[in-house]
Amino acid sequence: MQFKVLRGDTILKILLATAALFIIGLVVALAAELFLGSASSIHSFGPSFLIGTQWRSSQNVFGALPFIYGTLLTSAIAIVIGFPISLGVAIFISEKLKGHQTFGYGLGIIVDLLAAVPSVIYGLWGVFILIPLLRDYVETPLHNSLGFIPLFSGNPFGYDFFTSGVLLAIMVIPTMSAVTRDVLSVVPNSQREAMYSLGATDWEVTQKSVLPYARSGIFGGFILGLGRAFGETMAVTMVIGNIPNITTNLFSAGATLSSLIANNFGESTGIYQSAIIEIGLILFFVALLVNGLARFMLWRMTSGARGRA
């Protein structure tokens, strides 16, 4: 009996660890591939590649900063808009609709379906519906009333950071809210009951009991959403305007790391291709950095709250 128990545990652990190792292997292989592909670019341009602000492929001038900036800015807009909304949707479905499961299911399924819409459809929709809508009813009023703030100073354009951020927000909401909703619904009811019995209101239960309990899971949804925002290619390419730009003005055309790859990888050769692969490598490191940072913040939060690693 003792022997059998040990064996079952060991087999399971080995199998599961193999799956975990597979992921590490995959990422390492990807990184190796990117390093190999960008070797000649790294060698020729060195660190100036990272801080260069000019990208002129026909003259072999390559600077990645505008694309890094564009990726961070659009993802930030997407998260600022998308995260609270996703959290709200998740709280609504899992906390407010406790007694109306059919409605919650319907809502959940609609939100889930949006994850399956191909990003090119989001892009087409963005070009024909979202851009005119935002330009005429959001950007122009903001510019007219708050134009003195650098963020809104530019002439509203439609093809810009702001539109890309909003479109990304719409695209990450299904991912973030689905995960968050699911995580909230698994919070044991005993957690809620304890709070209610202390006389807490609905919001206090959510705020003080449900959300802290599900914090790590909400973070998981956040990371998945952020990941989608970083990596999203086609839809952003169609609405961002694709002009390398570093400006605080949200109403200005820009470019992201992945839009550059989508636009120009196919036709690139030689050192140009190497430079684009280095853009992929930068994207890899940006993802690494942001994830590391988010992890660190989570660790700080949880170690304060629960005292368990």
Partner 1 sequence: MGVMTQSDLPASISLWRKILNKLMTILVIVAVVLAIIPLLLILGDVFIRGAPAISIGFLTKLPTAVNVHGGGIANAIVGTFTMVGIASLIAIPIGIGAGIFFSEWSSSRLSMVSGFMNDVLTGFPSIVLGLFVFVILVATTKQFSAFAGGVALSFVMLPIIARTTSESLKLVPNTLREASMALGIPRWKTVLRIVIGTGKNGLLTGILLAVARATGETAPILLTASTSVYFAKSIFAPTASLTVLIYNYGTSASQNWQTQAWGAALVLILIMLAVNLLVKLTVGRNLTGKRLEL
Partner 2 sequence: MKSTYVIIAAIVVIAIIIGGVFGYIALSNSSNTSPTPAPTTAPTVAPGSTATPTPTPTSHPSTSASPSPTPTPTATPAPTPIPTLAPAVLNGAGGTLIAPLMSVWQPAYQQAMSQITVNYNPVGSGAGITQFTQQVVDFGESDAPMTAAQYNGLPSGTTAITIPISASAVVPAYNLKLANGTVMTNGLNFTGAVLANIFLGSITTWNDPAIQALQSPSVAAQLPSTTITTVHRSDGSGTMFAFVNFLYRSSSTWATQVGVPSTSPSWPTAPAQIAAPKNAGVAGAISSKDGAIGPLEIAYILENTGQTSLYYGTVANAAGNYILANVSNIGAALQAGASSGLPAGNASWTTVSMIDNTYTNTTATTMYPIVTLTYALVYQAQTNYVQGAALVNFMSWIVNSGQNLGTGLGYVPLPANIVAVDNASLKLVTYNGTPILH
Q: Phi/psi of residue 162, each to 5°?
A: -60, -50
> Checking DSSP bridges between strand 55-56 and strand 61-62, what pairing results, if any?
antiparallel
Q: Does 13 bind partner 2 (CB under 8 A)?
A: no
**Cα–Cα distances in angstroms (integers) from residue 144 to residues 136, 192, 251, 252, in the given order:** 11, 47, 13, 16
Per CB under 8 A, the list member of 5, 269, 304, 308 interacting with partner 2 is: 269
Q: Does 269 bind partner 1 (CB under 8 A)?
A: no
Would you say 77 and 152 are in contact if contact means Cβ atoms under 8 Å apart?
Answer: no
CA 221 to chain centre: 9
Residue ranges in 224-253 that form contacts with partner 1 under rule CB under 8 A: 224, 226-228, 230-234
Among the residue ranges 70-78, 109-117, 200-208, 260-268, the one whose residues contact partner 2 (CB under 8 A): 260-268
Per CB under 8 A, the list member of 63, 108, 158, 174 interacting with partner 2 is: 158
Taking the C-alpha atoms of residue 240 and residue 153, their distance in angstroms, rounded to an integer, is 17
For the chain, the C-alpha Rg in angstroms (whole number) is 23
String marking each residue 48-87 x if it binds partner 1 according to CB under 8 A: ------------------------------------xxxx
Q: How many residues bind partner 1 (CB under 8 A)?
A: 112
Which of 281, 295, 279, 289 has its CA nearest to residue 66? Answer: 279
Per CB under 8 A, the list member of 84, 118, 141, 270 interacting with partner 2 is: 270
Burial class (CB in 10 A: 0-12, 13-18, 19+), 183: buried
Per CB under 8 A, the list member of 39, 80, 146, 288 interacting with partner 1 is: 288
Residue ranges in 172-231 that form contacts with partner 2 under rule CB under 8 A: none
Residue 127 Cβ vs partner 1, minimum distance, rounded to whole Å: 11
Q: Which residues bind partner 2 (CB under 8 A)?
A: 12, 15, 18-19, 56-59, 124, 127-128, 131-132, 155, 157-159, 234, 237-238, 241-243, 253, 259, 262-270
